[in-house]
With several copies, the nearest count.
Chain A
Amino acid sequence: MEEQTQDNTAYLVHLPELFDGPMDLLVHLVKKNEVDIYDIPIALIAKQYLEYIKLMKAFDIDVAGEFLVMASTLTYIKSRMLLPPEPSEEEEEEDPRMEIVRPLAEYLQLKHAAEDLANKDRLDWDVFVRGYPDGAESSDEQAGGLVQVGLFELIDAFQEIIKRVSPQDLLNITVDTISVKGRISEIADILERRGSVTFEEFFEKQATKADIIVTFLAILEMAKSQIIRIMQHVESRIIRIFNG
């Protein structure tokens, strides 16, 4: 890929595998050129990077947006390298390449980690235990005599239901509504323990405005469902919430 050409077929053999992402491609180029990642010849790497993208396009391979973002970052760094340092600046300017070096170094670290993981003795490939026919089931257990299941199984179960019914009233489940449900559960816990609690108590420890709103909505919802009763003392005017 050192030179440009119109004849793509010449490169057919050289076309590297598709890269997982722009970082992957960058690692490949830096490695291929055997350069120090802390002293990347940015012009060279940027050029090769762009050539690769051109090649992908020539072969009608979908070039994901991320590749283009990286291309423009590289081009930008290259242009900044060409500018003379601003004379007015007192402090020494950081090497513009650091913008790419830092994530690259971190990505490399994680590639090492991924490789290390891949070299471990993998269950059902390197090592085998009894009774796992396909390794799909690990019986994680908990006190109380139930097999622990993943959250995903719960979600899958929910998904099954949604397939069967009109999804309309299920789609309004948002982070906020779940928060309200969570607070309902907490309030029910408290009432189970104590029977009744003053209205103010519920708001005393609330840290944020959002928490206060969630608590208020929870109390409203509980009152609506008649899970709780809200009473006010005639004289003290203290509002108390009772288990329904």
Chain B
Amino acid sequence: MDNLKAVLESLLFATEAPLTVDKIKSILETEDRKAVQDALASLAEEYEFQKRGFLLSEVAGGYQIRTRPEYAHWVRRMREAKPARLSQAAMETLAIVAYKQPVLRTDIEHLRGVDSGGILRTLLERGLVRVLGRKDLPGRPMVYGTTKRFLEFFDLKALSDLPTLKELQDIGKEWPNDST
């Protein structure tokens, strides 16, 4: 294989766990351990010499490309900016608020079957849900609805762009109440 180094590099780039020489040999269907080791050494040297943003590390009995420690600060900054993911419970709550608004917390909890106060607070903090007002019931419970940010978040022009259950059925979603 005349481009062994480049192939190796593509493997090292695409792997998550360190690659052992044995693993590499089996992927490349070669018996030439020496060639693989030489190529690895040559890559490591190249990264060093060219002062690349990453280096080839020998870890846990295998090889792995890692970012150069000098740049850890920036990589960390990037990782920290990594957005959070909404939990399943948050998605459920959000779905109920979206489809049933204006909705009371008790309605949400009735549908979900569990206390949803904490999740509602998170959604409020995230700006996806807001308090629309208070209902004239004992305790003056708050009524919730979705925000503009909710629309942006789901790339909706308007709330009326939400598909209806009927429409979902039409595009083939199976609903528990029909059949089975």
Interface of A toward B, CB cutoff 8 Å = 16-17, 20-24, 27-28, 31, 64, 66, 70, 103, 106-118, 120-133, 135, 138-142, 144-165, 167, 170-171, 173-175, 178-179, 181-182, 184-185, 188-189, 221-222, 225-228, 243-244
Question: Which of A112, A161, A228 interacts with B133 by CB under 8 Å?
Answer: A228
Q: How far is the CA of A163 from the CA of B174 in the complex (A)?
A: 11
Instruction: Please classify how large the interface on chain B is, using the bins under 10, 10 to 19, 20 to 34, 35 or more.
Output: 35 or more
B88–A20 touching, CB < 8 Å? yes
CA of A227 to CA of B131, assembled, Å: 9
Most chain B CB atoms below 10 A, which of A126, A188, A227: A126
The answer to whether B14 and A142 touch across the interface, beta carbons within 8 angstroms, is: no
Contact sample, A vs B, 22 pairs, CB 8 Å cutoff:
A113-B168, A115-B172, A116-B163, A117-B98, A121-B69, A122-B84, A124-B79, A125-B83, A140-B148, A142-B152, A144-B149, A145-B81, A145-B83, A146-B126, A149-B86, A151-B131, A158-B98, A164-B112, A175-B134, A185-B148, A226-B136, A244-B134
Interfacial chain A residues near B81, Cβ < 8 Å: 124-125, 128, 145
Residues B72 and A157 in contact, CB atoms below 8 Å apart: no
Looking at B136, B155, B158, the one whose CB has the most chain A CB atoms below 10 A away is: B155
Say yes or no: A226 contacts B153, CB within 8 Å.
no
Q: Which of B71-87 contact A (CB under 8 A)?
A: 72, 75-76, 79, 81-86
Q: Which residues of B contact A162 (CB under 8 A)?
A: 165, 175-177
Look across to chain B and name the residue whose beta carbon is closest to the beta carbon of A28: B180
Complex Cα–Cα for A167 and B136 (A)? 27
Are A109 and B72 in contact, CB atoms less than 8 angstroms apart? Answer: no
> Which B positions have Cβ atoms within 8 angstroms of A?
10, 13-17, 57, 64-69, 72, 75-76, 79, 81-86, 88-89, 91-92, 94-96, 98-99, 101-102, 110-115, 124-127, 130-136, 139-140, 143, 145-149, 152-156, 158-160, 162-166, 168-169, 172-173, 175-180
Selected contact of A151 from candidates B13, B88, B154, CB within 8 Å: B154
Q: Are B95 and A113 in contact (CB under 8 A)?
A: yes
Which residues of chain B are near A22, meaning CB under 8 Å? 113-114
Given contacts A110-B95, A159-B173, contact A181 B101 (CB under 8 A): yes
